[in-house]
Amino acid sequence: MKTKYIFILLTVLTFNFTSQAQDQGEKKQLYQHKVESYTTMRNAGIGLTIGGTILTIAGITSMSNAIASDPDLLTDEMASKYTIGLLCASLGMTGTGGGIVFWVIGSSKKNYYSQRLNSLTFNLNPNPYHLASLTYRF
């Protein structure tokens, strides 16, 4: 009976150690890939934020120029100019909002995985040649 429990315990521990014993090179490549992808996300967020802000300013300027020229928007030219300004301002605000979200999430995750990439780890390995290892990544 005791041997059965010991066998089950050893089996569970072996599976736990093998799941923790992932190759350090694979982890490093995974973290590098994540840092690159989140850097791309952050840069896209910066671009969307800047582009959205410029588009919002251009749209508001176009709307205010149309109202200044024709306060009642009676002519088709001024009404279309106001409509284009309204569309630009709406798209710009949407781009700015999405860009801020991408920028914040990308920057946060990039910093997280950069820190994980440059960290000190202790790894238990059931391999008979390497029982335990202490790794500092830089």
Percent of the chain with pLDDT over 90: 52
> Which residues does residue 123 pair with via DSSP β-bridges, in sequence order?
133
pLDDT at residue 73 greater than cutoff 80: yes
137, pLDDT greater than 60: no
Report how far residue 57's alpha carbon sits from residue 99's, in angstroms, rounded to the nearest whole number.
16
The residue type found at 25 is: G
Does the pLDDT of residue 32 top 80, yes or no?
yes
Token pair recorded at residue 44: 């896209």
How far apart, in whole angstroms, are the C-alpha atoms of residue 72 and residue 56? 23
Mean pLDDT of the chain: 82
Residue 29 has a pLDDT of 85
Separation CA 32–CA 118 (nearest Å): 10
> Considering the entire predicted model, what is its pTM?
0.68
pLDDT tops 60 at residue 133: no
Q: What pLDDT is recorded for position 119?
A: 73
Mean pLDDT score, 49-73: 94
Q: What is the pLDDT of residue 21?
A: 46
